Amino acid sequence: MKPISPRNIDYPRPGSYGRGSSPDLDFVYSDADLYDNEISELYSYTEHVEFQLNVKAFEDQMETYDLPPNWQKLTPDNRKSIIFKLLDQLDVAQRDIRMRSARCILYLAQGCWAEIQSDQEQEQHTKDNIKLLYKLGVFASFVELLNLEIRSSSVVQDASVPKPHEVSLSDSTDLRVILSVLYIITETIRTEYEAGQCQEYVDIYQAFQKEVNVPYDEELLTVKLLGMTTRFCSGTAPHFPIKKVLLLLWKVSLLSMGGMSSLRDLKNEYREKNNLDRLKEDTIEITRQMRSSSPPATAADILESQNQKEGRRIAFRRCTNEAFIEEQMDLESQTGMVPNSNNGEAEDDLNDYFRNCNVLPLPEQQENQQPFHNNSMLPWQPKVRQKDLEQFLEISRSKFIGYTLVNDLNTLAGLPEPIHEGYKILKNHMYTSLADVQIKLEENIARNPLTTNEGDIPQTSAEILYQAILPNLPQYMIALLKVLLAASPTSKSKTESINIMSDVLPKEIPLTEMASTKLEIDVNRHKEIIVKAVSGTLLLYLKHFKINHIYQFEFMSQHLVFANCIPLVLKFFNQNITDYVTSKNNIPLLDFPSCVLGDQTNLTSENLVFGDNASFSWRNMFSCINLLRILNKLIKWKHSRVMMLVVFKSAPILKKALKVRHAMMQLYVLKLLKMQTKYLGRQWRKTNMKTISAIYSKVRHRLNDDWAFGNDLESRPWDFQAEECTLRTCVDRFNNRRYPEATLKCQSAMNTQVQEAVNQGDDLQTDNINNNDNGLSLGGNLCMGNSGGDENDADHVRNCGCNGIWLDIKVELTDDFKANYEMWLDEEVSGTPIDWDILIKDFAQPIN
């Protein structure tokens, strides 16, 4: 049986549809790109010279064994014996001998490319060799070797850690060899398992999954890699090849916890365990069938087409006042939801929406039916939280019978018939999430700690990971975000502390024009790959923690928020996002394995793009969607964080992202817009009716949720701090109860780290996503409605986030202080005159 490589599977490729009929990007979201792309992204183009070193190492090594340097001609026994000898050599003290053996193994993992002609052959050989390598324990040995290399390199450099910008490609040669071998093994096993063509690989996958979920040498591999990232960011190990570290981290996490399909299965499994229904809708499946809306043109676009460049800003001011948005879109005909086009009048839109909503069948009737097959229906079934039902009953009861019944969701006595009907509909759409059950259990345990039994905590891979990273979780999050910030295309290269380019830039900067073009592409590609790996990892962790235990998720997300993840992502999107998703930072001829197979042609400006016919960049689409999903995960149902979206003026940034014609990406943008619509003010709604219609037709409805027009009582601006603190208390109680030791370690480590987080936040702030003066702040008068002005609000939100950490720090007073407390009081407090009026003066100033 000849295993089918992923390239044979019929993936929709660009150009398969005529451009005119469907301009949608046919990007298909999945756990990772095709195998060959994932492998070629491991190497930067500047590493190419090193491929030859691998063959050389292999040939030298074979010479010492008196064998011809031809792997294919060796018998299986011979191959085994050679790998054993190479493994033996990995323990040798002399670095060059040790690394020669490591390079040999890398060459084998690369599929012995010097002996073959085609890339299919190369892939097949890789797969065969990986099987053998894994079975003989190469992976574990390389993890040990990685340990050795991390530690020994730090010993050497303790005396003089090089400045980040002085480090170049040559400082990480050995580490890159080791990480490459680990990565190739991981990715090959993962994709072969997904392809499901080979039973042997399924067995290997299962063994491997167990292996990576058990600590090597007292440390999980994921923890080791996260630790490497932290050390890289702290500047103590600037030579770590960060791209390879992050790629390996992402793939190992993906393999140990599982991707989308296992997430779905796990969620269903957990829901069933808690007596909840299985999921009826799969977000990924539904969005695949959605079509994108045509993008709302921004004012700037229209202007650009009208009068290029000249007088741009002046014209902009004039135009924002006129509602010329009508010309923009053809949304109705796109979605098929509103058949007769109606010039985009708000009222008509609403009528259509309600009519469609009423005919929605009840969930029982459409058990096995994909909701979106029928174009006249909304893609999602509406959901109702218990809280919504409670609210509805409370309001109706106090209105009609004059008093409320707490905790009674059944009695309808005294309520009129229409309320009964409304109640029925709400009840039919009630959705209890896994989180609700977990929170309730947690409350129960807190109330009756002795009588409530949680039972054994199942040691799932997510649970193992959480326990392992808990002591240092805040630092890990900060480190990942720092790298993400440094890799964002919008970031200026002023961040001195880390240099993510150290594993692309060679020692000598090239002189020829061709070489510098090549290097430029390489650098951009490198950054994009880092963003892809970080965003993939963060999203994967959030999703797994969320179903494993909601408070694990909340803990991680709170730390992401404290480390300023929200402004960071917004800043990321504050670029020309259509350019980003269609960027072509690839030189197909230089991708592995093309760069080593067959006759090598010289790179010219003609063949630079030869072979690249994709209309979009897979990895950039993937990163964008990941980042949007992360943002959604962090913000959903959190008022304080929604307000961050508002104060950071995310609306115009998000609107620009809607230009990318991909349904899934648009859905996540629309969700983010939906959350904040009611705070954006009448003016914004008036000029963005098309966007609001798109939200109606694409995003799930929450019955009774007046998201667009409601005046929310909950949104009192000064409650934010309280909200984050309440959440924090719950999370801490959970952590303290389940993981007392790890939590203690985490808190003590945090005291030293908080400062850094805040500083990093300042970096982000000063990089101003707020004051973008390129004339695109469409949402000019965002309606925070209160005095402070946007800058102050931003500060406030940030501070309340960070204060949350300070509140928990226990201050130990010295005995000396306790004994002489009164003296201190006299001297420092009573004895010093305080002019309270100054405070009022200071406070008054920013308002005026």
Partner 1 sequence: MKMADGTTIIRRNKSGTKAKDFSRWPDEPLEEMDSTLAVQQYIQQLIKNDPSKVEHILTMPLGQEEGVWKYEHLRQFCMELNGLAVRLQKTCFPSTCTQMTATEQWIFLCAAHKTPKECAAIDYTRHTLDGAASLLNSNKYFPSRVSIKESSVAKLGSVCRRVYRIFSHAYFHHRRVFDEFETDTYLCNRFTYFVTKYELMSKENLIVPMNIEENAIPGESEA
Single out the residue of 44, 46, 61, 141 in contact with partner 1 (rule: CB under 8 A).
141
Stretch that binds partner 1, among 76-84, 125-133, 185-193, 701-709 (CB under 8 A): 76-84
In the complex, what is the shortest distance from the CB of residue 193 to partner 1, in angstroms, rounded to a whole number? Answer: 15
In the complex, what is the shortest distance from the CB of residue 77 to partner 1, in angstroms, rounded to a whole number? Answer: 9
Helices 650-657/565-573 angle, 10° precision = 50
Single out the residue of 7, 56, 80, 584 in contact with partner 1 (rule: CB under 8 A).
80
In the complex, what is the shortest distance from the CB of residue 90 to partner 1, in angstroms, rounded to a whole number? Answer: 9
Single out the residue of 4, 8, 28, 97 in contact with partner 1 (rule: CB under 8 A).
97
Single out the residue of 59, 211, 388, 756 in contact with partner 1 (rule: CB under 8 A).
211
Distance in angstroms (rounded) separating the CA atoms of residues 666 and 651: 13
In the complex, what is the shortest distance from the CB of residue 459 to partner 1, in angstroms, rounded to a whole number? Answer: 11
Contact (Cβ atoms closer than 8 angstroms) between residue 39 and residue 6: no
Q: How many residues bind partner 1 (CB under 8 A)?
A: 33
In the complex, what is the shortest distance from the CB of residue 42 to partner 1, in angstroms, rounded to a whole number? Answer: 24
The reply to whether 152 sits near partner 1 by the rule CB under 8 A is: yes
The reply to whether 68 sits near partner 1 by the rule CB under 8 A is: no
In the complex, what is the shortest distance from the CB of residue 208 to partner 1, in angstroms, rounded to a whole number? Answer: 7
The letter for the amino acid at 169 is L
The reply to whether 199 sits near partner 1 by the rule CB under 8 A is: no
The reply to whether 155 sits near partner 1 by the rule CB under 8 A is: yes
Strand-pairing partners, residue 702, are 383
SS3 letters for 539-551? HHHHHHHHHHCHH
Omega within 30 of 0 (cis) for the link into 593: yes
Contact (Cβ atoms closer than 8 angstroms) between residue 574 and residue 490: yes
The reply to whether 208 sits near partner 1 by the rule CB under 8 A is: yes
In the complex, what is the shortest distance from the CB of residue 8 to partner 1, in angstroms, rounded to a whole number? Answer: 30
Helices 95-109/173-195 angle, 10° precision = 30
In the complex, what is the shortest distance from the CB of residue 157 to partner 1, in angstroms, rounded to a whole number? Answer: 13
Q: Is 782 left (phi over 0), alpha (psi -120 to 50) or beta?
A: beta
Single out the residue of 8, 28, 118, 151 in contact with partner 1 (rule: CB under 8 A).
151
Residue closer to partner 1 by CB (options 88, 345) is 88
Single out the residue of 4, 28, 92, 362 in contact with partner 1 (rule: CB under 8 A).
92
Residue closer to partner 1 by CB (options 149, 352) is 149
Single out the residue of 60, 63, 91, 808 in contact with partner 1 (rule: CB under 8 A).
91
Helices 119-135/199-212 angle, 10° precision = 50
The reply to whether 136 sits near partner 1 by the rule CB under 8 A is: yes
Helices 720-738/740-766 angle, 10° precision = 150
User: Closest Cα partner for 459 from 161, 168, 256, 197?
Assistant: 256
Distance in angstroms (rounded) separating the CA atoms of residues 603 and 595: 11
Single out the residue of 7, 85, 165, 280 in contact with partner 1 (rule: CB under 8 A).
85
The letter for the amino acid at 742 is A
In the complex, what is the shortest distance from the CB of residue 269 to partner 1, in angstroms, rounded to a whole number? Answer: 23
The reply to whether 451 sits near partner 1 by the rule CB under 8 A is: no
Residue closer to partner 1 by CB (options 215, 775) is 215
The reply to whether 61 sits near partner 1 by the rule CB under 8 A is: no
Contact (Cβ atoms closer than 8 angstroms) between residue 644 and residue 797: yes
Buried b / exposed e over 309-348, threshold 16 CB at 10 Å, is eeeeeebbeeebeeeebeebbebbebbebbeeeeebeeeb
Distance in angstroms (rounded) separating the CA atoms of residues 698 and 484: 30
Region 304-333 residues binding partner 1, contact defined as CB under 8 A? none
Distance in angstroms (rounded) separating the CA atoms of residues 703 and 411: 20
Residue closer to partner 1 by CB (options 157, 433) is 157
In the complex, what is the shortest distance from the CB of residue 184 to partner 1, in angstroms, rounded to a whole number? Answer: 18
Which contacts (CB < 8 Å, 24+ apart) does range 65-71 have? 70/115, 71/108, 71/112, 71/115, 71/125, 71/129
> What is residue 295's DSSP assignment?
P
The reply to whether 210 sits near partner 1 by the rule CB under 8 A is: yes
Stretch that binds partner 1, among 134-142, 282-290, 594-602, 629-637 (CB under 8 A): 134-142
Stretch that binds partner 1, among 81-89, 247-255, 620-628, 712-720 (CB under 8 A): 81-89
Q: Please, which residues have CB within 8 angstroms of residue 444's CB and are 6 or more apart in sequence?
A: 452
Assign 792 to helix, strand or coil: helix
Single out the residue of 81, 307, 726, 759 in contact with partner 1 (rule: CB under 8 A).
81
User: Closest Cα partner for 644 from 554, 523, 757, 764?
Assistant: 764
Single out the residue of 128, 144, 281, 348 in contact with partner 1 (rule: CB under 8 A).
144
How many C-beta atoms lie closer than 10 Å to residue 506's C-beta?
16
The reply to whether 140 sits near partner 1 by the rule CB under 8 A is: yes
Q: Which two tokens stand for residue 92?
A: 């040798």
Q: How far is CA 454 from the centre of its chain?
A: 31
In the complex, what is the shortest distance from the CB of residue 87 to partner 1, in angstroms, rounded to a whole number? Answer: 7
Residue closer to partner 1 by CB (options 86, 569) is 86
The reply to whether 137 sits near partner 1 by the rule CB under 8 A is: yes
Assign 702 to helix, strand or coil: strand
The reply to whether 88 sits near partner 1 by the rule CB under 8 A is: yes
The reply to whether 132 sits near partner 1 by the rule CB under 8 A is: no
In the complex, what is the shortest distance from the CB of residue 145 to partner 1, in angstroms, rounded to a whole number? Answer: 9
The residues binding partner 1 (CB under 8 A) are 65, 80-85, 87-89, 91-94, 97, 135-137, 140-141, 144, 147-148, 151-152, 155, 203, 207-208, 210-211, 214-215
